[in-house]
Amino acid sequence: MTFLERAAAKHDATVNDEGLALITLRGLAPGDYAFVAYYDENGDGKLNRNALGKPKEPYVFSNDIRPKLRKPTFDETKVSVAPGEVVVMTLED
């Protein structure tokens, strides 16, 4: 099982007038984590994909990883999180 298939926490966010969304994860134990964010353009609650499995909606993994022809690895996307840590991800089409 890959890290993408494990249970994950889901958080919704609202985008402000400047195009930014902020998600605060309270009580997160220090350690290595991988994050993924996507913009649910059609509001159906999932990341839509084409026939080849490529996302049709904007998405990004932590460390701004966006592999073209494969799924990312945990090592590529992991972020060491400490108390008060801020992780910045840039969502692009």
- In this prediction, residues 61-85 reach a mean pLDDT of 90
pLDDT for res 78: 94
Q: Where exactly are the structural domains of the chain?
A: 1-93
Instruction: Report the candidate in 89, 63, 91 with the shortest Cα–Cα distance to residue 78.
Output: 63
* Distance separating alpha carbons of residues 26 and 45, to the nearest angstrom: 23
pLDDT tens-digit series, residues 29-56: 999 999 988 889 999 989 999 998 888 9
pTM above 0.75, yes or no: yes
Contact call for residues 40 and 49 (beta carbons, < 8 A)? no
Is pLDDT at 1 greater than 70 in this prediction?
A: no
